[in-house]
Structure 1
Amino acid sequence: MKRKFNLVLAVLMTAVMLFVAACGKDGGNSGSEGSKSSAPASSGAASAKPSDSGKPVELSIMWWGPDARHEATLKALDIYTKQNPNVKFKPEYVAWDAFWAKLPTLAASKTMTDVLQMDAAYIQEYAKKNTLEDLSDLDLNGIVDPSVIENLKIDGKLYGVPLSQNAQGIAFNKPELEAAGIELPQQNWTWDDYFAFARTAKEKLPEGKYGISDTSNLWDWYQWYQTANGGKPLMSDGGKTFTLDKELFMKYQNTFAELRKDKIVPPADKVLAFLENDPTADPMGSGAIMTRGATTGSVSALEQLLPGKVDVVNMPTGSAGGGWAQSTIFLSVSAGSSNKEQAKAFVKWFITDPEAGQALGLTRGIPINPEIYKALEPTLQPKDKLGKKIYDVALEKALPFYPIASGYTEWVDTYKATMEVVMFNKMSIEDAYEKLNKLGQEIAARTK
């Protein structure tokens, strides 16, 4: 009898052990949706949650910006950790200059952070150095417009998830122009319209006030003119090709020379004393100029200088369009990260989570995700809505954003210095062209 009891007990114990093992096995598979999201993104990664395996993960992250951005980002990181307790962060945040001074060293030593903020002016450079992870397998359908994604790809790959909408346009002092009886800048105006507006404004405005400033010493303004009129960007193919269209350059610079001669724009010494966003020295904020270039991010500062007076229009256009409208700030993942899938999941979460959206607000501009912006819109101030408006008016005719190519900082500095000499009539426009074209071609040759 005792023997029979022991046999039954052994059978029962075996059954219990098998049942417990089976439960453990099922628990590991069903884990949670997090365990699925840790798979490669092409098979469903890129969901907004990282692996919930329970294994602690520390993601290092680095960004630049003002204090408001730092505080908002830290708050968002706390929200992520609350939602994903096994993920902690090692944050590092600095000013713009400090970020770009430090990043080359981190890239060279292969110690870049898992996640890092990236800018359109530098993303190609770091992508071509193989320091950034390809994020093409992230599913961003319904979050980011497919055309935006395609415009941002480098050699067919996506190296940064766009964070915000950004655009270049023209801000103008609406009530002062109306009071002077000057027709307001119109949507899709041309460069010829822009220069005609300047002449009309000078005729009708009081002494010491101008319709436009002299931007002949700013390389990006000239590039907008060149590309709007069908020319190539100044630097293309990663800087291997340099194109300074002589006919367009001479026409643009001669136009400004005539405007200076006729006192349609301020004298050179006054132009060089302007300081954007300074209450007394900002060209438009000070009341001296009726228009000023502005982006989605910068127009809000101008509205604070001139509350209720600022309206916006797109950049002057040509046969090819004009200005640009696209994201210029991203979150990227280091190619050397040991936590790539967790980093990818976090990057997607950053632009999709409603709670994160509320915490981040507009600290990186108009959110790229329309649902996040829609949730924020009722709380936005007029200065914030102007940022959205400048993006909306720029879209129709927008050209791609053409950043400074790697190695061309010297050329950009030389352009400014050279054209300022021209502004003071100390050098001919022809000589300026020869000098700038020669240097550009030399840099392009070194880049090949």
Structure 2
Amino acid sequence: MPQTTLSRRTLLGAGAGLTMLSALSAAGCAPRQDPNTLTMSIFGDQSSADELRARLLEPIRELDPAVKLRVVATPGKDWNEFFAKLLTQIASGSRPDIVSVATEGVQLMAGRGLATPLDDLVTRDLPEIQDYFDDVSPSLVEAMMHQGSLFLLPNDYNAGHMFYSPPLFEEAGVALPSPSWTVDDFYEAGRAIARLPDVNAYDWVVRLWGSWTSFLYANDGNLLEQRRASGGEWLWSSAYAGDPDAAGRGGGWDWGAPTANDTPAVEALELMIELKKEGIAPSPDVGGGQTSQALFAAGRVGMSVGGGFWAGGLHNAGMAPGTFDVTYFPRWRSQRHLFGTAGYAILESSQKRELAWEVLKRMTRPDAFDIQFPGNVTTPARRSLSTAERYATTGPEGWRVFSQTLVDFPETAPIPAPSYFNALSTALNQRTTEAISTGDARAALDGLQIDLETAAGAAP
């Protein structure tokens, strides 16, 4: 196919909400806030928001008995869609005090001045929250920084691991994957499992987290130049003083020039095309992984990328412990994994910054995790919460990989999430679909390179 760029409207449409927001702010149109109502905006449906409000109401009223808590949900198939809708809501005048933000939106929210930095609050209250930093990997905290400032305290995260079906491996006569297995091992297992009737040996989705991008990371590649921003010493020298894992860290990730058509990316996407040609994997869905997870739970998928959230998801779908397991992603040029993390940001426009900060601190306490995430639907940011007891009811047996990846593979890094993330995600989805359809990874990625250069050049 011709290497034309995606339309400027498609790539940059997410900026419309920000433009409207800037205009409203300049005109002094910010709405007045109810001084007794604390509003949270989360990614999900309203029934989930109502359940979260019910669980959080008592802990938050311990901080301020007079506070009224309002939790508003914004649905979407992924974080990309959530942020696009959120920006539109903010631009129209609906501005919460606290917003759930994942890796995908840190630079979007921080770089546009929508989220407030937490540096002064963390420094002031460090003795009170030092146990939190002692329990959370610097990798997760660094992913929540931008230009030297910290904007969120991560509550949970998910790395891209490989879930697999022991019964299908056994039926295909294939040895179960070891933690040190390779892409070649994965390929041979896929060929054997593909011979079974009505089974997808490997199933995947088109998106940024845990898609063919997991193979890209394992192949030591990325979609953008990956650099550390300067700054951050104020945090590493205090909250992580003496921690060797904090050495060499900076002030967040500085995503540089696009590298979407470099050799590692072309090789990774060519692998996916080959999987389809050989019948190892079908054409992927775009967006969320609900279909893939449902097929896995039905015993029709041999392997698929998933994070800690799959433990609860597969259990809730009826899979008993022992019928599924998880291991590290296979080694290629490296065994580097990708991850995404999430927490809560305080909007710059909030008139209740101190109360919102107290809520954020409360949400990081060990007893708050299951209030927010009942049922093993994500991986705790706190290492001490990943225990055999936690996974005894849901599985999988290899649950230790969820928390151990950041230790065993220190080169593991967050997904690329520049300020133009929405444009990047949209272009990635469309160009990946193009590559699978045409069988030409090089042409599709040459097009993606142009798309990303256009988006980066237009980003403020």
In the alignment, the residues of structure 2 paired with residue 176 and residue 251 of structure 1 have an alpha-carbon distance, to the nearest angstrom, of: 28
Aligned to 2:363: 350
In the alignment, the residues of structure 2 paired with residue 91 and residue 274 of structure 1 have an alpha-carbon distance, to the nearest angstrom, of: 29
Aligned to 1:128: 111
In the alignment, the residues of structure 2 paired with residue 302 and residue 107 of structure 1 have an alpha-carbon distance, to the nearest angstrom, of: 35
In the alignment, the residues of structure 1 paired with residue 279 and residue 353 of structure 2 have an alpha-carbon distance, to the nearest angstrom, of: 56
For residue 114 of structure 1, the aligned residue among 90, 97, 109 is 97
Aligned to 1:333: 346
**Would the alpha carbon gap of residues 197 and 379 (structure 1) be closer, same or farther in structure 2, given more than 3 Å must change?**
closer
The answer to whether the 8 A contact 2:261-2:442 is kept is no
In the alignment, the residues of structure 1 paired with residue 88 and residue 398 of structure 2 have an alpha-carbon distance, to the nearest angstrom, of: 35
Alignment gaps of 5+ in structure 2: 1-34, 227-252
For residue 209 of structure 1, the aligned residue among 184, 187, 199 is 199
The answer to whether the 8 A contact 1:161-1:330 is kept is yes
Whichever structure has more strand as a proportion of its residues is 2
Deviations along 1:334-387, one digit per CA (max 9) or x if unpaired, are 222222222212210122273x4554353773443456667xx75766326679
Amino acid at match of 1:249: A
For residue 397 of structure 1, the aligned residue among 393, 409, 416 is 409
Amino acid at match of 1:190: T
Matched, 1:158 2:163: no
Aligned to 2:54: 74
Which is further off, 301-310 or 404-413? 404-413
Amino acid at match of 1:73: R
Q: CA deviation at 1:410?
A: 4.5
Identity %, equivalent residues = 16
In the alignment, the residues of structure 2 paired with residue 177 and residue 71 of structure 1 have an alpha-carbon distance, to the nearest angstrom, of: 39
Aligned to 2:328: 314
Match of 1:284, SS? helix
Aligned to 2:311: 299
Amino acid at match of 2:220: G
Residues 192-271 of structure 1: pairs in structure 2 closer than 5 A: 192-202=184-194, 205-213=195-203, 220=209, 221-234=211-224, 241-261=257-277, 263-268=278-283, 271=284
The answer to whether the 8 A contact 2:155-2:369 is kept is no
Deviations along 1:106-149, one digit per CA (max 9) or x if unpaired, are 54477632222222211211101122121133223221325132
Residues 169-188 of structure 1: pairs in structure 2 closer than 5 A: 169-188=161-180
Match of 1:265, SS? coil
Match of 1:142, SS? helix
Alignment gaps of 5+ in structure 1: 1-55
In the alignment, the residues of structure 2 paired with residue 176 and residue 429 of structure 1 have an alpha-carbon distance, to the nearest angstrom, of: 30
The answer to whether the 8 A contact 1:227-1:322 is kept is yes
The answer to whether the 8 A contact 1:167-1:296 is kept is yes
The answer to whether the 8 A contact 2:391-2:399 is kept is no
Aligned to 1:141: 130
| Superposed CA RMSD | 3.5
Aligned to 1:368: 381
The answer to whether the 8 A contact 1:59-1:88 is kept is yes
Q: CA deviation at 1:245?
A: 3.9
The answer to whether the 8 A contact 2:144-2:153 is kept is no
Q: CA deviation at 1:443?
A: 1.9
Match of 1:330, SS? strand
The answer to whether the 8 A contact 1:226-1:232 is kept is yes
User: In terms of Rg, which structure is larger?
Assistant: 1
Give the TM-score normalised by the residue count of structure 2.
0.70
In the alignment, the residues of structure 1 paired with residue 73 and residue 114 of structure 2 have an alpha-carbon distance, to the nearest angstrom, of: 20
Which is further off, 90-99 or 150-159? 90-99
For residue 436 of structure 2, the aligned residue among 423, 428, 441 is 423
In the alignment, the residues of structure 2 paired with residue 443 and residue 357 of structure 1 have an alpha-carbon distance, to the nearest angstrom, of: 37
Deviations along 1:183-225, one digit per CA (max 9) or x if unpaired, are 11211323333223323434xx42343432366x555533333
Q: CA deviation at 1:94?
A: 1.2
Aligned to 2:181: 189
The answer to whether the 8 A contact 2:160-2:338 is kept is yes
Amino acid at match of 1:321: Q
Give the TM-score normalised by the residue count of structure 1.
0.72
Deviations along 1:140-167, one digit per CA (max 9) or x if unpaired, are 3221325132343221211011112422
In the alignment, the residues of structure 1 paired with residue 457 and residue 311 of structure 2 have an alpha-carbon distance, to the nearest angstrom, of: 38
In the alignment, the residues of structure 1 paired with residue 455 and residue 396 of structure 2 have an alpha-carbon distance, to the nearest angstrom, of: 41
Which is further off, 387-396 or 149-158? 387-396
Match of 1:199, SS? helix
**Would the alpha carbon gap of residues 128 and 285 (structure 1) be closer, same or farther in structure 2, given more than 3 Å must change?**
same
For residue 383 of structure 1, the aligned residue among 369, 391, 394 is 394
Q: CA deviation at 1:418?
A: 4.0
Matched, 1:441 2:433: no
Q: CA deviation at 1:274?
A: 12
Aligned to 1:167: 159
Q: CA deviation at 1:273?
A: 10
In the alignment, the residues of structure 2 paired with residue 186 and residue 394 of structure 1 have an alpha-carbon distance, to the nearest angstrom, of: 14
**Would the alpha carbon gap of residues 214 and 91 (structure 1) be closer, same or farther in structure 2, given more than 3 Å must change?**
closer
In the alignment, the residues of structure 2 paired with residue 274 and residue 241 of structure 1 have an alpha-carbon distance, to the nearest angstrom, of: 25
**Would the alpha carbon gap of residues 154 and 320 (structure 1) be closer, same or farther in structure 2, given more than 3 Å must change?**
farther
Q: CA deviation at 1:301?
A: 1.6
Aligned to 2:244: none
